[in-house]
Structure formats: structure tokens, C-alpha cells
Amino acid sequence: MQPVMSVSDIEAFLESDFPQIHTDGRVFEMVEVTSGAIVMSLAPNERHLRPGGTVSGPTMFTLADVAAYVAVLAHIGPVALAVTTNLTINFLKKPEPEKLFCRAKILKLGKRLAVVEATIFQADEEEPVAHAVATYSIPPR
Amino acid sequence: MQPVMSVSDIEAFLESDFPQIHTDGRVFEMVEVTSGAIVMSLAPNERHLRPGGTVSGPTMFTLADVAAYVAVLAHIGPVALAVTTNLTINFLKKPEPEKLFCRAKILKLGKRLAVVEATIFQADEEEPVAHAVATYSIPPR
Amino acid sequence: MQPVMSVSDIEAFLESDFPQIHTDGRVFEMVEVTSGAIVMSLAPNERHLRPGGTVSGPTMFTLADVAAYVAVLAHIGPVALAVTTNLTINFLKKPEPEKLFCRAKILKLGKRLAVVEATIFQADEEEPVAHAVATYSIPPR
Amino acid sequence: MQPVMSVSDIEAFLESDFPQIHTDGRVFEMVEVTSGAIVMSLAPNERHLRPGGTVSGPTMFTLADVAAYVAVLAHIGPVALAVTTNLTINFLKKPEPEKLFCRAKILKLGKRLAVVEATIFQADEEEPVAHAVATYSIPPR
């Protein structure tokens, strides 16, 4: 499964068409685009943190959803507008109040539906802090 | 299943122990507490809205998670600190850029786990805009 | 949301087009069809039971999936062939080795996707033994 | 994360304590146990197949649940009795009426909860036919 957008293509698209992801400051960053997957990071600021020094659940949900959406986009191109229809997230352990990485891997890319697995991790990808699976509805092209 | 906290008990608890839900302004409001369920509302402001005049997915995730958490709290008391372990959300239709209501109904309240269904609606509860089911781990009391 | 098939219409359709649900004997029974929902029952036999006198998880999965599928069918008619794309099930408490009921309620019935909530219960519908939410892909009509 | 049971340990345990998985004949087979994961296969017989030559959804649910359960068992030992509390399954494409493989990988192994990802595939593990994430409640040891 070959991507049709590069890291810079995706950054330019998010800049122009998806500015709301920068509402809390420029916390999201594209890390890489590979065959069938992408990696993004989120550098939490005050509003993403929680008492006790951890990152909030909604912040992890947002990272998983944005990264999974971007993984689909990177493989079908910026034209199509995919919509999240379903997302299941498991919170596995308390993250440190530090940068989060999310690897979003496409499990299925169909004509009408895409299913993407998103694994959120910090130091060690083998010990994820959260794991999500999301379904996107792809409009007729 | 009888609640052990009233609407004002819950408001006071959120005020003192959960101030971060007011980060975006006082958008959350308790509506009612009933046997096994609670209703909360969220009045979206600019940062919850999306181009095209709708409410963002993360806003609905947050409302579902907060309301489900509060439903558990209302029935076990403010002492225990429940943690979200799993949440599945289905986005059913585009919400209007208006107040969202969430009815959080307890499906199971066990010693170690609680499972709560959260239905997000606007004008008509029979036509929800989103539906979630969340699991909370309850620490030993 | 008005159903387009009656209990006997559905029984006749399952008989002719879905005989595999009778593989383990005639355990499924239609109970009622209402606006936006249906109720089915499953009378477990030896192969649905587990040591310790309970009903197996796969039996509950199957009941939830069949009932949710039938709920969609009852509202779009027997023509369309819906396919399960996603199902989340929460097991809430150990069922008795007795008849299970499942109320399948349509949360969304769109052109391409339907989302159905399925609640499995025995004596008391307010204390369900399992709860599922399933998504069905509806082929173009 | 090191396993504490070998393939033959697991086969012996299933034989003695979990005979019901053989109800439909000896369709399940252990393939391998690795650090943090196991692989099992299911060779479908008539009762697992569906008209049109595919494998039934309940068969894939059962394989995912058994494999994920065995992955937990392989790492905590046969003593503890884990119970499935939650399972989300995505059906990705129609399987061939042939042997299914399931790689069950532990995402979290806590004191009270384990979360396992189960990927079901046939010829090509990179193009799975189904994907599940399951949570198990682990009784106090």
C-alpha cells in the first residue's frame, strides 16, 4: 500500500485545510510516512496536562483520531473527505507529561470504509500508553 | 441503583477536585441525577466548533467521558477515583453548533469495574448524534 | 422509524435465506418488532453452555449480531444485504444457563451505515448480562 | 515480557480445563508462543462456513477471544482464571473458507486487567480479515 502524500504534502494540507488542530498551539508534528502507516507526535502543553502530571484522555483521543485520519489521507490523497464513524480506545498506562507519538497503521482501505489502528507511545513503542482502532467513512470519489 | 450524590454535591465536587473541565470556560452543566443515570450538558464555544458549523469529535468524546465518569461518581461517592480504561464511541450524525446533552446510564457497577452507556443528543433524544460505552476501573475501597 | 417487516415476515425470511442460524437447533425466536427495535430470544442448549452453568461468550456475541442484523432488516426490508463491519461487546455479568433475550435498537439508519445497540438480558432488562453496539454496511440500493 | 507456558503446556491445559473448545471437533491448533504474543489457527469445518464460501463472524469472534485468552494465560500461568470483559472486533474482508490464523499480542498485562490485540489473517498477515482488541479481568492472585 503506497502513500500518495509526503510528510511536507501532509503538513501543507493540514496548514491550509485543518487549521483547527493548531488551536492549542503547534503541538502536532508529522514524523514519517511509510507504506500503509504514518507517525505523528503531540507535544503537550498546559491544557493537555492533568493534575498528578499526566496527559488527559481527550488529548490521547485527539492524537489517535488525527493520526488515523492523516494515515487515510496520506494513502487516498487530500481530495476525499473521510469522516470518523467509530473509534475504540484503550488507555493502557498513565503517560508521562511529555511528548506522545502515535503510529497509525491502515488495517483496511476500502472504497467506502477505512479501518486504522493507532498506537500511542512515549519512550518504548512496545509499551504503549494507549491503543485505538478507528473507522472512517470515505465519500464516493 | 440509588445515587449517593445530588446535582449540587456533584457540582461542588467538580468545582473542587476536577477544575480542568472548566479550562475552556464553564461549558459543562449538570442537568439531573436519577436512579442509575445522570444527564449533563455542554454549551460549545468557538474552540469546540468546526468549519461547516458543527461540534468537534474530541468535544463529544470529552462530554461522553466526563458524563460517564460523573454517573459512576454519583453512585459510589466522591471518594473513589475511577479511571477510564476503555471507551468506544460511534458518531451518528453531524451535530448542530448548539448545546449538547449527554445521558450517562450505568450498565454495570461492580466492585472493580463499571460500564456506562453515554448517549449524546440535541433536540431529540431518540435521534442521538453520538453514542459511547465506557469502562472504568474502580480502585479497591 | 417504522418497521417494514412483521415478526412472521422475519421468521419466513430467516427460514428461507438464513438457515444457518438453525444449525444448533431452533434456538432463536422472534419476540417482537417495534418502531426502531426488535426483540429476539435464544434458548441455549448443551453446546451454548459452559462448565459452572453459564452461557458462552460466543453465544452472546451471536445473539447480539443476529438480533442487530434483524433490526436493520426489519426496517430496510429483506432485499438489502447488510454486512457487520464492527461490533463492540461488554460482558456485564455471568448469565444463568437459561433463555436469553436481546433488544436490538437502531441508533442510526443511514444510506450506507446502520448502527445498532443490542442489550442482552434474562429476568430483568435493567440488569443486562451483556451489551453490544454493532455497525452494518448497507450496500447501495 | 516472557511467557511462562510452552505450546505443549498450553495444549495440555486446554485439553484438561477447556475441552469445550473442541465441541466442533479439533479445529484449534497452537502454532507458536513468543515474547508477549501467541499464534493459534482454526481449521473451519462445515459449521463454521457460510453460504457463498466464507467463514462466519461468530467463528472469527471465537478465534480472537480464545487466542487472546491463551496469550494472557501463556504469560500469567494456568492458575489465574481471566474473564473477557470487553471485545471490539472489526471485520475487514471476507475470509476464504480455509484455515484462519490469529496472532494475539499483549498490549497491557496489569494486576487486574490485561488488554490484548488479536489479528486474524490467512495467506498474508499484512492483509488481515479481522482485527479485535479484548480486555480481560484478572482475579486477585
Q: What pLDDT digit, counting tens, does each position of D127-140 carry?
A: 999 999 999 999 87
Class in CATH terms, B7-137: alpha beta
Chains that touch C (3 or more CB pairs under 8 A): A, B, D
* Between D108 and C18, the higher pLDDT residue: D108
In the block, cell 463472524 appears at: D57
C-alpha cell at D17: 480445563
Torsion C87-A109-A10-A97 (CA) sign: positive
Kindly indicate the confidence band of residue A100, based on its pLDDT and cuts at 50, 70 and 90: very high
Chain C touched by A88 (CB under 8 Å):
yes
User: Are the beta carbons of B133 and C131 separated by less than 8 Å?
Assistant: yes
Kindly indicate the confidence band of residue B132, based on its pLDDT and cuts at 50, 70 and 90: very high
Per-residue pLDDT, A18: 86
Instruction: State the Cα–Cα distance between residues D15 and D8, nearest whole angstrom.
Output: 10
Share of chain B above pLDDT 90, in %: 79
Share of chain A above pLDDT 90, in %: 79
Per-residue pLDDT, D80: 64
Ranges of each domain in chain B: 7-137
Q: Residue B89: list chain A partners with CB under 8 A.
A: 86-88
Chain C touched by A139 (CB under 8 Å):
no
Task: Specify the range with the lowest mean pLDDT, choosing from B82-86, B103-107, D137-141.
Answer: D137-141
ipTM for the assembly: 0.95
User: Are the beta carbons of B108 and C88 separated by less than 8 Å?
Assistant: no
Chain C touched by A113 (CB under 8 Å):
yes
C-alpha cell at A48: 493537555
Q: What does the mean pLDDT of chain D come to? A: 94
Question: If you average pLDDT over residues D87-98, what whole number do you get?
Answer: 97
Question: If you average pLDDT over residues D67-83, what whole number do you get?
Answer: 91
Kindly indicate the confidence band of residue B23, based on its pLDDT and cuts at 50, 70 and 90: confident
Per-residue pLDDT, A80: 64
Per-residue pLDDT, C18: 86
Low-confidence residues in chain C, pLDDT < 50? none
Per-residue pLDDT, C80: 64
Q: Which of D20, D62, D85 lies closest to C91 in CB terms?
A: D85
pTM over 0.90: yes
| Identity of residue D10 | I
| Cβ proximity of C85 and D90 under 8 Å | yes
Instruction: State the Cα–Cα distance between residues C65 and C113, nearest whole angstrom.
Output: 15
Q: Closest Cα partner for B29 from B42, B19, B18?
A: B42
pLDDT tens column, D15-31 = 988 888 888 788 999 99
Q: Is B47 exposed, middle or buried (0-12, 13-18, 19+ CB in 10 A)?
A: middle
Chain C touched by A45 (CB under 8 Å):
no
Q: Which of A36, A90, A115 lies closest to D135 in CB terms?
A: A90
